[in-house]
Amino acid sequence: MAGRRTDTRERIQQVALELFAERGYDKTSLQEVAERLQITRPALYYHFRTKEEILAGVIERLVESIEELVAWGREQPATTEARQEILRRISGLLSDQWRPLFRFAQVNQGALEHHPGGDRLREGVFSMVSLLCAPDESMERQFEARLAVIAVILANVPVLFGPEADLSRMNEVALRVASKLIADEPAAPATPEPPGG
């Protein structure tokens, strides 16, 4: 029975995030969420009393998944292979359970900015990036680690690549680019060719 209740809660959160992304958080009512789900408002209230509760639940799940990833990553050796696996896991979460929240965040930045879970979310993201580069490494290496995460995130923003973009292909390419950025041997800086050479 608990499994069905969890599934229903997750479905409500997913549909609510879709509506928040389409219409905006402030413009979406719980009635509209219930209508999209084809359930009654009392049935919705059984799980969530307010939009704030829905968003808090989504952020909590996101933070928990980041914390699980960070805990796993801290147990891994400091190797290129481990960092590549961390990037693969970030990519997997982005293309699965993080995607609805990511779409929501693109449209509703203000709602997340002042949310009580926002600080935990920011700390989690910082911890996730620190798995790819230790704080005492050079500024260049720290920048490369952040760019690697951004590359993986960008693969999940189809608007940047057009409506015909193949998300799975973009994820593959993003992981290859990101892996180069966090490799043990950073790429040598490009040497400009002399004029006329």
**Average of per-residue pLDDT values in the chain:** 83
Range of the domain at 120: 55-181
What's the pLDDT tens digit per position in 130-165? 899 887 889 999 999 999 998 988 887 766 777 777
Domain count, the chain: 1
Question: Looking at the domain assignment, is residue 172 inside a domain?
Answer: yes
Range with lowest mean pLDDT among 51-65, 91-105, 142-156, 164-178: 91-105
Nearest partner of 79 among 197, 179, 196, judged by Cα: 179
Question: Looking at the domain assignment, is residue 92 inside a domain?
Answer: yes
> What is this structure's pTM?
0.74
**Residue that wins the pLDDT comparison between 172 and 192:** 172
Question: Looking at the domain assignment, is residue 87 inside a domain?
Answer: yes
State yes or no: pLDDT of 184 exceeds 60.
yes
Domain containing 148 — which CATH number?
A: 1.10.357
